[in-house]
Amino acid sequence: MSNERQPTEPENQNDQSSSIVKPKKAFVLTDEMRRQIAESEKEHRRYKRREKRFEFSWISWFCDEFPNEEVYRPALAERRNTRQEMAYHRFRQMTSWSFWSRMKSGTGIKLAAVGGLIAAFLQAAPKLKGVESAVGPLSWLLVGGGFYLLAVIWFECKCPVLLKRTLAGEDEYLGIEGRRWLLALVEDELRRWWSVKPYELDVGRVKPESNKHQLALAITQHGDIPAYGGFGEFASARIEYALDEYAQLTSTAIWREDFKPNEYQEFTPGHRFCPLNTPLRSLHLSVMNGSEVKMAKVGKEGDLVVRWFDSPLNFHSQLPTPRNLMMSAYAEGLIYLFRTDASALTFTRIIAQWQNTMRPLSRFALISLFLASGGCFVWFVFLQLKILLPNLLLGVD
């Protein structure tokens, strides 16, 4: 009986081997890992400095060509306070195209031209100009009028066409050709928001079995760079908010089709925070017909439907550039927003506000010309007062 209770030799060996715990392999921090950690920390510090400079620097405020977006900003503790936020928006408004377009008026052009002609006439007529000291200030009036005319010409040449067309405030009959012209201007503005996003192979190695990673490896083996082309999360959010504003101003119903066909949800704009290697997207607008209304059991015929599609991974060399981009391939169906003159003008005004801070160097030149014109006029008034005040004081005495 005692022999039956004792384990056999193989059983003893199994028990001993199971009771022995294998020592875990110690984590070793190699020099390469230390170098990568140091590089990551350095890059993070550089990113924080850029973020802070973009948030608080007046130069960054002026050079930022895109409209402000509240969501894609630093953490709340690192943002501008209320006073700085007010200063930011006031500065952006005072340096925008629309603000300085008010200085460009027909009356101002006429006064500058008449003042310049009078000054030139008096300077050219020796018998009329009299004492040189009395005519000298008119030279500054002539120079100020020249700066003003140069500023007006610069505005007409450099102001974005879509914004300039909107600032004119013309609500005349457009017709088919006029609406197509506005559609072309809107597509040209969306071209500025289109971008290219390379595929990160290091990030894709987390799931090496995925089809996208395999396709990216195949593209790399052919000596090219895998990349997406389309609208990023910031551009997508701006487009969605523009469509939502259009729906509110025109009382148009808009639906969203996301997951299953013929299943529509009420459209609400939103923001996305996309990790690396998330595909860029393309927009598709359509109009609901009678059969779709019956199957979906929501909406009515003529309502707009918004769909977003992920862009395919492609060779970087085969993607279009902003110069030869066909925007209708990435923003299809915009024609439905230009069916009438009223709807076309409404959506055009919404998109035109995106161009209010474009071309910072051109805006700087425009502001400089207007300020130079104003400075010359102020100096002309000062010189005139120096001549007139002594005479007035002597007359009083």
| Token digits of residue 280 | 């860029």
Crossing angle between the packed helical segments 233-250 and 175-193, to the nearest 10 degrees: 150
Model pLDDT for residues 83-141, shown as the tens digit of each residue: 888 888 899 989 999 888 888 765 565 565 566 555 555 555 545 444 455 556 777 77
- Apex 386 CA angle, 384 and 388, nearest 5: 65
**pLDDT score recorded for residue 364:** 94
The reported pLDDT for the residue numbered 1 is 44
pLDDT in tens, 260-297: 777 788 888 877 777 778 889 999 998 888 887 788 77
Structure confidence by residue, pLDDT tens digits, 305-361 = 898 988 888 888 888 888 888 988 899 989 999 988 888 999 999 999 999 998 999
Q: Any idea where the domains of the chain sit in the sequence? A: 48-94, 96-160+358-397, 176-355
Residue 352: which of 192, 222, 154, 236 has the closest Cα? 192
Burial of 56 (0-12, 13-18, 19+ CB in 10 A): middle
